[in-house]
Amino acid sequence: MELRIASRRSPLAVAQSELAAKTLHERYADLRTLFVEVETEGDRRLSAPLAEIGGKGVFTQEIEEMLRQGTVDLAVHSLKDLPTAMPRGLRIAAVLPREDPRDVLVTRDGVRLLDLPRGARVGTSSPRRQAQLRLLRPDLQVEDIRGNVGTRLRKLSEGTFDGLVMAAAGLLRAGAGAQISEYLDPDHMLPAPAQGVIALEARSSSREILSVLRSVSDRTAMRAARAERALLAALGSGCAVPIGALATVEGRKIRLRAGVFAPDGSVALRTQAEGGRAEEVGEAAAAALLKMGAQRLLSAAR
């Protein structure tokens, strides 16, 4: 069997596609893979905030259209970039083992978040991170930054920023883990739902391919991601809204920490939910947040 694998052109996306291919080859030695790189709308418009150019879908629309047309057989995504409503005819067939889901701080001299000087400029592309940074350190200048891992690190080294908040998983997979100054505690900086999870997407009608992909899927990562994405779906929100979530799986039990934040960092609503069924845990956490007044924050952020 030959699989045509589509992914974005960024170095991190290529690394993730290569990891997916390596995982498949380890189980199916005779499997052939062909990489098809795609430049998405999100890659072409790096100067604009994500919320202004369409949110999560800007990284996936072109790739998913190729899947629907049969130009490629498999798409590799960071699952946090995929909207919770899957396009008709496509499905998440598998996820790889989860990398560290936490956010991290990167500074030039290894300075930690609480030790940054007053007024320091910290860059991040995520409204969720921006909101939590403003809650933790209202004295900082929190600014938007776009670009791949290398571009952001270069801006830091050039002095444009004093610090960056990024996903640990992206830096580790890009081979830049040595740049990390501090891993941020999820109790203070909740990550994005499904952060650190690589998703393998395929056509619902491709039964043989779906069977191959399911055989390499990580059950623990899938259960955690399903709980986090169920929360996101129940809140009806995308990447423009500051929502954090992190599920941990212990045996049959799933524990989900979740939060909704005012963009300016003035309000933080947090809750926890536990249970054995991923979707029910996510929906329970969403219901608790809505009862606490999350809808007001969500509407304001939109």
CA distances from 210 to 78, 183, 201, 235 (A): 19, 36, 9, 29
Instruction: Estimate the crossing angle of helix 278-291 against helix 294-301, to 10 degrees.
Output: 90
Cα–Cα distance for residue pair 195/101, rounded to 1 Å:
5
- Our answer to whether residue 73 is catalytic in this structure is no
Apex CA 211: angle with CA 208 and CA 74, to 5°?
75
CA distances from 76 to 18, 31, 69, 201 (A): 9, 17, 16, 6
Could you say which of 81, 109, 115, 185 is catalytic? Answer: 81
The answer to whether residues 271 and 285 touch, using CB atoms and an 8 Å cutoff, is yes
CA 212 from centre of chain: 24
How many CB atoms neighbour CB 210 within 10 A? 17
Nearest by Cα to 301 from 266, 258, 257: 266
Residue 60 CA neighbour count, 13 Å, CB half: 27
CA distances from 106 to 69, 115, 174, 215 (A): 41, 13, 14, 36
How many CB atoms neighbour CB 212 within 10 A? 22
Ordered alpha helix ranges (H), the chain: 11-27, 41-44, 50-53, 61-69, 127-136, 149-157, 168-173, 207-214, 219-235, 278-291, 294-301
CA 18 from centre of chain: 18
Q: Mind telling me the catalytic residues? A: 81
